[in-house]
Structure 1
Amino acid sequence: MDTPLEDLVKEWLRLDPNESTRKDVEQLWHNNAIDELERRMRTRIEFGTAGLRGKMEAGWSRMNDLIVIQASQGLCAYVLEHVKNAATRGVVVGHDHRHNSEKWAQLTAAAFIANDVKVYLHKGLVHTPLVPFSVKALNAACGVMITASHNPKQDNGYKVYWENAVQIIGPHDVGIAQSILQNLEPRVHDASQIVESGMCIDCTEEMKRGYFVSLSHLRTAALSFSGGSVAFVNTSMHGVGGPFASKAFEIAGFPPFTPVKEQQHPDPEFPTVKFPNPEEKGALDLAITTANAKGASYVLAQDPDADRFSAAENCDGKWVTFTGDQLGTLFAYHVFETYKTSGKPIGKHGDIPLRACLKLPLGKLAMVASTVSSKMIEAIAQTEGFRFVDCLTGFKFIGNTALDLVKAGYEVPFGYEEAIGYMFGSDIRDKDGVAATMVFAQLAASLRARGTTVTVHLQELYRRYGYFETSNSYFICTDPLVTETIFRKIRSSDVMGSSQGRSYPSSIGGLRIQSVVDLTEGHGYDSTNAPTYQPKLPLSLGHMIQFRAFSDSAGTDDSRIVLTIRTSGTEPKIKYYLEGSGSNRQAVHSLLGRVVDDLAEDWMNAAENGLGRP
């Protein structure tokens, strides 16, 4: 039986220590704003593998002081129970520039200190990668970063790193969520504990110095040029990345880049962009305008908390923005080429030898990407002889997969996901937009020294390993029942996998489907893994199915596709990730259009089901 709304409101008013948000709820109740109160009060904001993220307002389903205090109390109790010597090892807490970020970092610290847990509270604005770096460097029990990354200005979030300095995965997400529900009564009401206690330690500058030393290990060993022949413009999207990116350029030996002045300094209002996400259409317009005025060849961009990276190149007067997969391919080949010439993985350069500089066998080099990312790295790995491993979407999986490979004896100097997230070296097993900025600038400068460009270099890689093109998008579906109907239909089509009682589509876009991997909980199936047919990857709570298909017609057409369709955990969307590959660029491009048409018309019944398109 649902709890009466009045009881939810009364409980909020009893617990909320913030006068402003308490008055907000009182006013809504006084005005009989039932619909608004139902939206804010009926469900509790969910703690998951990404921690918490949502709109900053009063209510159980929003981000506010009370939710942060409760989350911190639950996290603290869980960490004390599950991490050895957690109280003395301490926790790392950092924050970005968003509204409430500093206060919520202090409330988080206060909740841990109230339980006699040492806190390393970063002073001032830091970028997200500094928190996992600090967790590892300090051997802390966990880390918390207050940020909403590239979300709109109304949002904020609470990102959690485990003692291995990687974002949490199951079972910890479920365990922490349960612990929060067991620790709802606020034991702190303000941040006074961090002022009065000697258990709050500031080692921010020490950690920054260590972080910049780790960046120096990403310097290309053979870098003997200043980079002065290449002009760069950089935007930090009104975020915290500017000073970190500037220092990275200095470490690489480059002259300063030209900042986009309108977006250079932290501003929680994000006045020049609706969505402060370098991937969004138009997000780089100001940067490109600045680059044109300065005669720069490249635009570099970090998202507001500087853990993601994007780039664009001026190609004979036309600006081309690289996709996340293209950047991933460029970075992967750069990492491979660096190892091949030096015998050491990127991230182990500088003055620190790797196992006394003994060259590791190429077969012990490994790279990781999410399963919805391009398969071009897979093609490079098959040709060049290193190992490639894919995993579920998100750096919580990429980072943990990398650590598992290290335990198995591999060096894992690179990992990425198509949503412009890139991991370099061994010091941070998470995405780092500043490291990506530095590596891309070095790549561009080294190519210029060889008389070529990043775009031309990418085309050379296509010629060598095959042409790869992606077409990622989504369908908007606001009715969960329609979503269930669509996926039920996909699982009852034709005869693919019928020997296991499964029936998936047998063709799409004129190609024959070769394999199906269903990673949906309750439907786990991998047509390539006989006799068990169990997926090698973990299962997902939402729907997620991947298809591989190829042309079986006689002739020279070697086109093939990888298509992944999945539901979003945070939005009313059915997302698809489609990549085509083959030796004929035009054939691949045409194929993608046919596949999208079949997906929309036959698989999704988009018109009949009323699905929206971007």
Structure 2
Amino acid sequence: MSIQESYQHWYQHPFIDPNLKAELAQMNEEEKADAFYTNIDFGTAGMRGLLGAGTNRINVHTINKATDGFARTILEQGEEAVKKGIAIGYDNRHMSYEFAMASAKVLASYGICAYVFTSLRPTPELSFAVRYLHCAGGIMITASHNPKEYNGYKLYDDKGCQLVPELVEKVIQNINMVKDELDIHPTLSEAQKQLITMIDHDIDEAYYKEVLSIQLNPDVDKSLVKIVFTPEHGTANIPVKEVFNRSGYQYVAVEEQCTPDPNFSMTKTPNPEEKGAYELALKLAEKENADIILVCDPDADRMGVGVKHDGEYVLLTGNQSGSVLIEYIFSQLRDKNLMPAHPVMFNTVVTSDLGEAIAKKYNVETEKTLTGFKFIGEKVAKYEVTKEKQYVFGYEESYGSLIKPFVRDKDAPQACLMLAEAAAFYKAKGKTLVDVLNDLYDEFGTYQESQTSLTLKGEEGAARIKQILSDLRTSKPDLIADQKVIRFEDYKEQIVEENGNVSTLSGFTKSDVLKFYLKDGSWIAIRPSGTEPKCKFYYCVKGEDKQDAANKTTAFVSAMKELSEAS
């Protein structure tokens, strides 16, 4: 159908949601084109997009379509999977509860049990619930750290891990069998209604117990540190406070940001990767003379950290906080003789090399995956079966980590508790977490990690991003800002060494990711975002000191901008 035909089909359909019909009536031609030029993409990260009417939007009809495809996939797994059912969680965003209940109804219409939280919960607790209830999978309604205009839909397997690409393909095949999402309008029988069960307290208590179990020094002097905490209007509010209360840490919450507000009214951004997320927390920290600031994103899988150091608050990147956690956790495992025989840590191909260097010091192997914690979860599940290696940590540069794998996704409540413990432990030794990071730089060299993005919206933007990656792939630069490229990794095809030798890239699902290794020990990676209309550039820069690293970063960013503009 053409854009106009699709628009008219939606507008005139008897099952169209009345609120969406009212929105359709107000659309101009440009808005119609963007809302209907394509179907919203269901990719390896599920769906994420703007809320609103249309095939290219997140709404009850596109949610129903996705759930219909997931339900068909569960049916293919057999009667046992149907009985095990699906756990469903949701965050504070507009329509999250409605989408969760709509998903439950679609599942029930297929005879599949659905377990729905009575109120908003963190993404990691949904992952935990899948495992705790022995479900066949899970659904999380969330747009993570995206702006208020967005919502999204994540799918989980029976291990509480987001679906890996081969499983996503099966779901997509079943989604594509749906001829018209507007025709999915289940009216449940009394028997089908009984398949929907609401869950809450029992899951919470089991989850809190596991989170508290991660402590390595539970008797550390907690009075040494004062914490400022904000959930950014999201799902971390109750669980992080509960964990701190039960473990005895002193904290002050940014109360203006503790309400589950879908408009995020009291924050510039709910994304802890951006400075605007810390504004109110920084003001409160200065007032309270807090030692650390902990900022969680709306679905509580990511956590940002601010540290008071030499009288000022320093915001750590995800790579930096990850490195500090690695040093603390691994040193304590070693000192307490708790390090397993064959320890392994997981991170991604766009994560800093510093973490790997620290892990090597403690004889911990590092395995890298593609971007997306589902790949780390897949590795955890593999070694859980083979027993050949034992998980000790996993993290991404994007402010997400997992201390213990009773959850199979990033877990901010775990990270908050462990950072608080590390801050107290090092303060007893006269150090801040920034001191710990600087010690690591002294030991392994100065690393500066950063990220830039090129935002290109709409159909033309998507095509432009593909073109940039294609041009960089086919016309590989020999030099980037006067640094020689000594190795090129194309995660779709091959590895090219400095001497021209070519080998096949193995051990990774094919993905549109490029990585350039430079002679000075730095690297640059490029990939399209899986959740936003962006081309992302990642920089891991190794310098003689902080100023040298900063100068190099500026030069590399400028060089990549020129290369992308020339493509």
TM-score, scaled to structure 1: 0.86
Q: Deviations over 1:269-301 (max 9, x none)?
A: 111224211222221010010111112121111
The answer to whether the 8 Å contact 2:43/2:530 transfers is: no
Partner AA of 1:239 in structure 2: G
Alignment of 1:264-275 (within 5 A): 264-275=258-269
Show structure 2 runs of 5+ residues with no match: none
Tell me the distance in 2 between the aligned counterparts of 1:590 and 1:223: 42
Q: Which residue of 2 aligns with 1:431?
A: 410
How has the CA–CA distance of structure 1 residues 202 and 479 changed in structure 2, closer, same or farther, with 3 Å as cutoff?
closer
Tell me the distance in 1 between the aligned counterparts of 2:190 and 2:208: 28
Tell me the distance in 1 between the aligned counterparts of 2:435 and 2:424: 13
Alignment of 1:279-318 (within 5 A): 279-318=273-312
Count of equivalent residues? 562
Tell me the distance in 2 between the aligned counterparts of 1:399 and 1:413: 13
Tell me the distance in 2 between the aligned counterparts of 1:149 and 1:571: 11
CA displacement at 1:415 relative to structure 2: 0.9
How has the CA–CA distance of structure 1 residues 176 and 480 changed in structure 2, closer, same or farther, with 3 Å as cutoff?
closer
Tell me the distance in 2 between the aligned counterparts of 1:154 and 1:533: 44
Question: Which residue among 194, 209, 215 is the counterpart of 1:213?
Answer: 209
Tell me the distance in 2 between the aligned counterparts of 1:180 and 1:379: 43
Partner AA of 2:293 in structure 1: V
Question: Which residue among 330, 334, 337 is the counterpart of 2:328?
Answer: 334
Tell me the distance in 2 between the aligned counterparts of 1:191 and 1:266: 31
Q: Which residue of 1 aligns with 2:486?
A: 514
CA displacement at 1:65 relative to structure 2: 1.5
Tell me the distance in 2 between the aligned counterparts of 1:15 and 1:136: 39
Q: Which residue of 1 aligns with 2:19?
A: 20
Partner AA of 1:189 in structure 2: H
Q: Deviations over 1:127-157 (max 9, x none)?
A: 1111110111111111001111111112111
Show structure 1 runs of 5+ residues with no match: 346-359, 494-503, 551-558, 610-614
The answer to whether the 8 Å contact 1:16/1:66 transfers is: no
The 3-state SS of whatever aligns with 2:275 is coil
Q: Which residue of 2 aligns with 1:390?
A: 368
How has the CA–CA distance of structure 1 residues 57 and 597 changed in structure 2, closer, same or farther, with 3 Å as cutoff?
closer
Q: Which residue of 1 aligns with 2:254?
A: 260
Question: Which residue among 167, 173, 186 is the counterpart of 2:162?
Answer: 167
Segment of structure 1 superposing worse, 327-336 or 430-439: 327-336
Q: Deviations over 1:379-404 (max 9, x none)?
A: 12333321001111111222212323
The answer to whether the 8 Å contact 1:237/1:276 transfers is: yes
Partner AA of 2:316 in structure 1: F
CA displacement at 1:109 relative to structure 2: 0.8
The answer to whether the 8 Å contact 1:194/1:200 transfers is: no
Tell me the distance in 1 between the aligned counterparts of 2:450 and 2:368: 19
Higher RCO (C-alpha 8 Å, min separation 6): 2
How has the CA–CA distance of structure 1 residues 371 and 405 changed in structure 2, closer, same or farther, with 3 Å as cutoff?
farther
The answer to whether the 8 Å contact 2:48/2:531 transfers is: no
Tell me the distance in 2 between the aligned counterparts of 1:475 and 1:57: 24
TM-score, scaled to structure 2: 0.92
How has the CA–CA distance of structure 1 residues 532 and 476 changed in structure 2, closer, same or farther, with 3 Å as cutoff?
same
Q: Which residue of 2 aligns with 1:579?
A: 540
Q: Deviations over 1:57-88 (max 9, x none)?
A: 11111111111222212111111103661111
Question: Considering only aligned residues, what root-mean-square deviation do their CA atoms show, in Å?
Answer: 2.6
Q: Does 1:599 align with 2:560?
A: yes
Question: Which residue among 316, 320, 331 is the counterpart of 1:322?
Answer: 316
Q: Deviations over 1:3-32 (max 9, x none)?
A: 36225522563263422213433x24xx8x
Segment of structure 1 superposing worse, 286-295 or 378-387: 378-387
How has the CA–CA distance of structure 1 residues 534 and 288 changed in structure 2, closer, same or farther, with 3 Å as cutoff?
same
Tell me the distance in 2 between the aligned counterparts of 1:249 and 1:479: 44
CA displacement at 1:41 relative to structure 2: 2.1
The answer to whether the 8 Å contact 2:15/2:183 transfers is: no
How has the CA–CA distance of structure 1 residues 192 and 266 changed in structure 2, closer, same or farther, with 3 Å as cutoff?
farther
How has the CA–CA distance of structure 1 residues 56 and 492 changed in structure 2, closer, same or farther, with 3 Å as cutoff?
closer
Tell me the distance in 2 between the aligned counterparts of 1:94 and 1:233: 27
The answer to whether the 8 Å contact 1:226/1:253 transfers is: no
The answer to whether the 8 Å contact 2:120/2:235 transfers is: yes
CA displacement at 1:528 relative to structure 2: 8.8
Alignment of 1:476-487 (within 5 A): 476=455, 479=461, 483=465, 486-487=468-469
How has the CA–CA distance of structure 1 residues 135 and 529 changed in structure 2, closer, same or farther, with 3 Å as cutoff?
farther
The 3-state SS of whatever aligns with 2:45 is coil
The 3-state SS of whatever aligns with 2:504 is coil
Partner AA of 2:103 in structure 1: T
Q: Does 1:422 align with 2:401?
A: yes
Q: Which residue of 2 aligns with 1:457?
A: 436
Identical amino acids, percent of aligned pairs:
28
How has the CA–CA distance of structure 1 residues 84 and 12 changed in structure 2, closer, same or farther, with 3 Å as cutoff?
farther
How has the CA–CA distance of structure 1 residues 152 and 592 changed in structure 2, closer, same or farther, with 3 Å as cutoff?
closer
How has the CA–CA distance of structure 1 residues 204 and 195 changed in structure 2, closer, same or farther, with 3 Å as cutoff?
farther
How has the CA–CA distance of structure 1 residues 435 and 177 changed in structure 2, closer, same or farther, with 3 Å as cutoff?
same
Tell me the distance in 1 between the aligned counterparts of 2:19 and 2:462: 36
Question: Which residue among 105, 108, 115 is the counterpart of 2:103?
Answer: 108
The answer to whether the 8 Å contact 2:51/2:58 transfers is: yes
CA displacement at 1:191 relative to structure 2: 7.9
Tell me the distance in 2 between the aligned counterparts of 1:124 and 1:195: 24
Q: Deviations over 1:496-536 (max 9, x none)?
A: xxxxxxxx33332333322111113xx43353999871112
Tell me the distance in 1 between the aligned counterparts of 2:288 and 2:546: 34
Question: Which residue among 234, 241, 249 is the counterpart of 2:244?
Answer: 249
Tell me the distance in 1 between the aligned counterparts of 2:231 and 2:474: 47
Q: Does 1:533 align with 2:494?
A: no
The answer to whether the 8 Å contact 1:90/1:142 transfers is: yes
Partner AA of 1:318 in structure 2: E
Alignment of 1:54-65 (within 5 A): 54-65=49-60
Q: Which residue of 2 aligns with 1:128?
A: 123
The answer to whether the 8 Å contact 1:310/1:322 transfers is: yes
Q: Deviations over 1:231-262 (max 9, x none)?
A: 1110110112111001111233323x101011
Partner AA of 1:211 in structure 2: Y
CA displacement at 1:122 relative to structure 2: 1.2
Q: Which residue of 1 aligns with 2:477?
A: 505
The 3-state SS of whatever aligns with 2:232 is coil
The answer to whether the 8 Å contact 2:231/2:297 transfers is: yes
Tell me the distance in 2 between the aligned counterparts of 1:461 and 1:332: 11
Q: Which residue of 2 aligns with 1:590?
A: 551
Q: Does 1:545 align with 2:541?
A: no
How has the CA–CA distance of structure 1 residues 290 and 411 changed in structure 2, closer, same or farther, with 3 Å as cutoff?
same
Q: Deviations over 1:348-368 (max 9, x none)?
A: xxxxxxxxxxxx32xx10111
Segment of structure 1 superposing worse, 101-110 or 269-278: 269-278
The 3-state SS of whatever aligns with 2:485 is strand
The 3-state SS of whatever aligns with 2:522 is strand
How has the CA–CA distance of structure 1 residues 482 and 145 changed in structure 2, closer, same or farther, with 3 Å as cutoff?
closer
Alignment of 1:326-405 (within 5 A): 326-344=320-338, 360-361=340-341, 364-405=342-383
CA displacement at 1:539 relative to structure 2: 4.7
